[in-house]
Structure 1
Amino acid sequence: MDAAPSPAAPGADGLGAGRERLLLLDAASLYYRAFHGVPQSLTAPDGTPVNAVRGFLDAVAFLVAEHRPVRLVACWDEDWRPAFRVAALPSYKAHRVGPGGGEDSPAALGPQVPVIAEVLAALGVARVGCAGFEADDVIATLAARAVAAGDVVVDVVTGDRDLFQLVDDAAGVRVLYVGKGVRRAEVVDQAWLAARYGVRDGAGYADLAVLRGDPSDGLPGVAGIGEKSAAGLLERYGDLAGVRAAAAEPASAVPAGQRRRLLEASGYLDAAPAVVRVVREAPVPVVPDALPRAAADPGSLERLVQRWGLASSVERVLTALGSARG
């Protein structure tokens, strides 16, 4: 991204003194980035690529060592293109559907995802998804539950800008944006959103995303309304509802061209919020999320290490777990 990275050093931000830190990992975002960032020459003894597995585990080790959470959950995509979002906007991720109807993803990545799940289980690291919902919704739901319970700071680890909508300084929710890599994570709080996008908070970012659109997700946005003009409208009229109300009022100060485009996009603007906004009350199963201090199943973990050649990466995770609350 264009903004200068803000180092995410533990304790340097002053956030969460005396409060537990919960790390919510956007697992798919991390293992996709690991797959594309770590050479496929890293293989198991039988030659099977394990670059995504190794990269994902190394990311977990770094995050635990750097941020020292008390709780951690790897949030899983059980449905990458939920029916309720497609019903609202059929173009949603349509360009990413593969020949078999599933997500079009690299052939060498798919077999690695179950290995990651198995290693997390052997380590005792919580992993949870929710049928019919994306990982974004799982993260939003777990964050909302944690905030409601109190005494917790939530760090959402993702390379997906969609989750910026969760940022809420008062609630203690921020994003560690790994677009430039886990070691160069940018701490996204409300000041960061204001400086980068000109919006006040996470809710403002969601409204901006609706207006601007996102081609990577099949969201067309409002024709002729880019990021800056969307931010300007939101600053003047407060939120998406205020922008639409002003566009519908002939006496308002909305420029004629923007007014016309907003009115022409009324169908899209009716549908898009349900697609862009995360679900904060999804039926996500409750799982124990305390950070383990040692492997939950050492025997299974050792078998996985030997089968897939993961000794160094698993050792880094175990070292980080052992010292996280030291």
Structure 2
Amino acid sequence: MLNSDFLVQRPVYLIDASVFVFRAWHSVPLDLVDPDGNAVNALHGFSRFLGELIERVRPEHIAVAFDAGLVTSFRKRLYPAYKANREPAPVDLKRQFLLCQRVCAGLGIASFVSGDYEADDIIGTLATRARAEGHKVVIVTRDKDLSQLVRPGDEYWDYISDKRFPYERIADRFGVRPERMACFLALMGDAVDNIPGVPGVGRKTASTLFYHFESLNHLYNDLDRVLKIKLRNAGFVCGQLRDYRESAFLARQLTEIACDMPLDVELAQLRRRPPDLGELNKLYDTVGFGRLLRNQAERITALS
């Protein structure tokens, strides 16, 4: 008999809900509506994605992280302009996010949302706790920010393009090792999230810098070394780094995923349960869905 120490733990799947809800919102026709005329396109697309993933990998442990909004996020308190360039989500889409959480419950999957923290922080905290109990994690997303969470044995799964990136391939895909990603993003800034960064430092420059430096602290503790590495316009870059030091460290607070947020959950709660077909069918009746998703839920029940 094998000693339990040699048994391989199956990975914990951690899903970034927003990627798949927004994709469905933009790709599934808006004329998919409930009996009252409310759009349910994002709900349908997300539900189908989640069911397909379950059928495909049959996860033992799985969780879905949702964003509650940006107004109360701790990052917003640090930097009021954080994500201020984004248009508020349409009311029809906000309503569907809530329905997507009901689908998770109906499919037997734990889901989490926080007013103070973002989905990325929920995933980071769950990943840290899973590893502490001997599990590797698979992060299901296509958001580059989440690549900073990948550690040896883990995978970053871009489900939409069906490409998986283990720890060893993250630098080739995104330009820097996972442990240095938050610093890399801080120097480049992020127009999507309205993070300023250091002007004049782009992806290639930031990638070169964090090939040579372990972190932002290491970089600023030995800034003159920038002049000695093979870097185009090293003098200019060094000057920009000096001038925008405060901006870089502020950005670092915004780009780093919190892996220790207060979250009242144990890993056992992430174990997938059989679907509650009664609750799912009630929801699907309310929104006017036909057999496609019901059949899917029945197949998942048979696999449980």
TM-score band by shorter chain is: 0.7 to 0.9
Cα deviation per residue 1:106-160 (whole Å; 9 max; x = unaligned)?
A: 332122122222232233321112331111111100000000011x221111132
8 Å CA contact 2:144–2:174 kept in 1: the answer is no
Match in the other structure for 2:136: 153
Question: Larger RCO: Structure 1 or Structure 2 (Cα < 8 Å, ≥ 6 residues apart)?
Answer: 1
Match in the other structure for 1:193: 170
Within 1, Cα distance between the matches of 2:226 and 2:196?
25
1:259 to 199, 214, 238: 238
| Higher helix proportion | 2
Gap change, CA 1:113 and 1:74, over 3 Å in 2: same
8 Å CA contact 1:141–1:280 kept in 2: the answer is yes
Normalised by the length of structure 2, the TM-score is: 0.88
Normalised by the length of structure 1, the TM-score is: 0.82
SS in structure 2 of the partner of residue 20 of structure 1: coil
Gap change, CA 1:89 and 1:188, over 3 Å in 2: farther
2:53 to 57, 63, 73: 63
Match in the other structure for 1:134: 118
Match in the other structure for 1:109: 93
SS in structure 2 of the partner of residue 217 of structure 1: coil
* Aligned residues: CA RMSD: 2.3
1:78 to 68, 78, 84: 68
Within 1, Cα distance between the matches of 2:293 and 2:168?
35
What stretches of structure 1 of length at least 5 have no aligned partner? 1-15, 99-103
Cα deviation per residue 1:54-99 (whole Å; 9 max; x = unaligned)?
A: 1001110121122221111111223435543123333210112x5x
Pairing 1:174–2:151 present = no
- What residue identity is the alignment partner of 1:167? V
Deviation at 1:37, TM superposition (A): 1.5
Gap change, CA 1:71 and 1:236, over 3 Å in 2: same
2:295 to 312, 315, 323: 315
8 Å CA contact 1:82–1:132 kept in 2: the answer is yes
How is 1:279-298 mapped onto 2 (pairs within 5 angstroms)?
279-286=258-265, 288-295=269-276, 298=277
Match in the other structure for 1:5: none
Moved over 6 A (4+): none
Deviation at 1:219, TM superposition (A): 1.0
Q: How many residues align?
A: 293
Within 2, Cα distance between the matches of 1:63 and 1:251?
49
Counting aligned pairs with the same residue, the percent is 29
Match in the other structure for 2:195: 219
Within 2, Cα distance between the matches of 1:33 and 1:236?
37
Deviation at 1:25, TM superposition (A): 1.1
8 Å CA contact 1:64–1:321 kept in 2: the answer is no
Match in the other structure for 2:3: none
What stretches of structure 2 of length at least 5 have no aligned partner? 1-5
